[in-house]
Amino acid sequence: MKKKSFIMGTILLATINFIVRSLGFIYRILLSRRIGPQAIGLYQMVFPFLMVLITIPTAGIPIAVSKLVAKENSLQNRKGIYKLLTLSLLLGGAIALLLTIVTSLKIDYIITKILKNQDLYYPLLWSIPAIGLITFSSILRGYFYGLKDIKPAGSAQIIEQVTRIVFVIAYLYYKKPTHPVTAATIAIIGVSIGEFFGLVYLVLRFNYKKLLTKISFIPSSDNKLTGVLNDVLYISIPLTISRLISVFMQSVNSILIPQRLEVAGFTSVAAIETFGKISGMAMPLLYLPFTVTTALVLNIIPNISEELAVNNMKEVAYKSNLALKITLLIALPVTGVYVIFGSQIAQLVFHEKDIGKYLSLISYATLFLCMQHTLSGILHGMGKQVITTINYLLGMLVQLYCTYFLVPNPKYGINGFFIGFIVSSFLIFILNFITLSKHVKINLPFVQSILKPICCSIMTFLVIILTMQIVGNHLTSSLATITALSFGAVFYCISLLITKTVDMTYLIRNIKG
């Protein structure tokens, strides 16, 4: 496969992810302003629990589908592709159905014993339909990613975001609910509404006639079917465990952080509002750089799987190093911008400066988060999902320790969570980096890949500060911030070309093939 497939695929995915994340980010802004911190806090308490439920059928199976479809596609095995998809849909659907039934029957137990908040009954109840919808959507997107047919999967995500935003915001403005529980419930219903329309689009784009002509009923004694199932489970189970750890930590944080803040002396309302500001406002800003790293991960898993299928280790090494270089180019300046200009960004977006304080503190983890994300994608493509799960578990144990023991200490308070978040991110990054270096020669020249981007980033920060000072007396603070950041972004891109950190001629030549 030509190099341009990886580069162009990454650019297209990054563009789609930028649109999707921008829409989601705008939605979070509108939602937080409309329903307030307390309703956002309730939404953030039930949403991680929903993520725990859907993680079981969606965390590993779609990635397994993407990886295995890419492998079969490289071997021109169309029948194997459709067999794999059919089995994966049946497996994911069965798991989703079981989770739906259990959650429906045990909803009272969940809100009283696990979530420990009676206000979450209706938000949790209306989250149940999303389980099956998200499961099937995720598996079908994995199928399209494996074929490198990015447009259907990307368009479905955009449709999902648009319909969710339109439904929730329109309802909130029309009905104007004043009770936080009602507002949080509407936000949860929007998840199912968006996923439904996204799934409908994927179904319409899928060629069922071709599927029915390729797949006939396969008896249970078929050894090849058993082999396909084993392949799916071998890939999906470790990934599911890793993702379960992540959403489990989100759920634990949604319960534990408010509780431990109360031990530190916060009132119940203040604790929920603090958690809502961090998880519902600061965190979405923090994860904006994942627009690029998510594109890299989604693209590199099937690409590496294809190259491994034909034993092309040279191309595996090339794409791995290219992905890491791109990640550094994005993560280094964004980390500095968040740390230095967190207050201005928070004021621009949320009109609350204290969120900027949280953003500036937690942003020290940005570089490590981006690098560990890309590293994990490379390792998943190489079939090293077991070790990445172990690395992730070790990091999360550190974060849990800090949340439980540091947050209730008045000396640290919410800063205890930030400490755990940064340390755990760094630990996972180091472990994944060491793991990858054992299998692929990592080629990141210090001057070209690290020193030059750092110098370009520092010059960019100075340009942003200078621009703010110049336009600050002539524009409002919001317009001044937008102007300075926009000018800084343009300056950074130009500085990368001037310093030849990015060779435009080489890049264009590879894109054109």
Task: Give start and end residues of each alpha helix (H) in 310-451.
Answer: 313-350, 353-362, 366-381, 385-406, 415-437
Q: What pLDDT is stored for residue 511 in this prediction?
A: 56
Phi, psi of 70 (to 5 degrees): -60, -40
Residue 61: inside a domain: yes
> What DSSP line would sit under 186-213, residue for residue?
HHHHHHHHHHHHHHHHHHHHS-HHHHHH
d(CA 303, CA 19): 23
Q: What pLDDT is stored for residue 509 in this prediction?
A: 61
d(CA 236, CA 139): 12
Query: What is Dmax (Cα atoms) for the chain?
Result: 77
Residue 254: inside a domain: yes
Tokens of 370: 């981006």
Residue carrying the six token digits 């130009």: 494
Residue 323: inside a domain: yes
Q: What pLDDT is stored for residue 508 in this prediction?
A: 64
* Claim: this prediction has a pTM higher than 0.85: no
Interacting residues of 197 by C-beta distance below 8 A, sequence separation 6+: 159, 160, 163
Angle at which helices 366-381 and 313-350 cross, to 10°:
150
> What DSSP line would sit under 160-189, residue for residue?
HHHHHHHHHHHHHHHH---SHHHHHHHHHH
Tokens of 354: 């204290």
Which structural domain range is residue 39 located in?
3-444
**Helix, strand, or coil (residue 1):** coil
Q: What pLDDT is stored for residue 309 in this prediction?
A: 74
Residue 308: inside a domain: yes
The CA angle 482-484-489, to the nearest 5 degrees, is 95
Q: What pLDDT is stored for residue 4 in this prediction?
A: 46
Number of domains in the chain: 1
> What DSSP line would sit under 466-486, residue for residue?
HHHHHHTTTS-HHHHHHHHHH
Q: What pLDDT is stored for residue 496 in this prediction?
A: 92
Q: What pLDDT is stored for residue 436 in this prediction?
A: 93
Residue 312: inside a domain: yes
Residue 213: inside a domain: yes
d(CA 39, CA 45): 10
Residue 170: inside a domain: yes
d(CA 187, CA 166): 11
Residue carrying the six token digits 């978040």: 421
Q: What pLDDT is stored for residue 12 in this prediction?
A: 81
Tokens of 415: 């800063």
Q: What pLDDT is stored for residue 1 in this prediction?
A: 40
Residue carrying the six token digits 């994944």: 432
Q: Write out the chain's pLDDT in tens, 513 residues.
A: 444 456 777 778 878 878 887 888 788 778 877 777 778 878 877 877 887 788 888 888 998 898 888 888 877 777 888 888 889 999 999 999 999 999 999 888 888 888 777 878 888 888 899 999 999 999 999 898 888 888 888 889 999 999 999 999 888 888 877 788 888 888 889 889 999 999 999 988 876 545 444 444 444 444 467 778 888 888 888 888 888 787 777 778 878 888 888 888 888 888 888 888 888 788 878 887 777 788 888 788 888 877 787 777 888 888 889 889 989 999 999 999 999 998 888 888 877 777 888 999 999 999 999 999 999 989 988 888 889 989 999 999 999 999 899 999 888 888 999 999 999 999 999 999 999 999 888 888 889 899 999 999 999 999 999 999 998 888 888 899 899 999 999 999 999 999 988 877 766 665 554
Q: What pLDDT is stored for residue 234 in this prediction?
A: 86
336 closest CA partner among 424, 459, 478 = 459
> What DSSP line would sit under 49-104, residue for residue?
HHHHHHHHHHSSHHHHHHHHHHHHHHTT-HHHHHHHHHHHHHHHHHHHHHHHHHHH
Phi, psi of 287 (to 5 degrees): -90, 10
Residue 436: inside a domain: yes
Q: What pLDDT is stored for residue 150 in this prediction?
A: 82
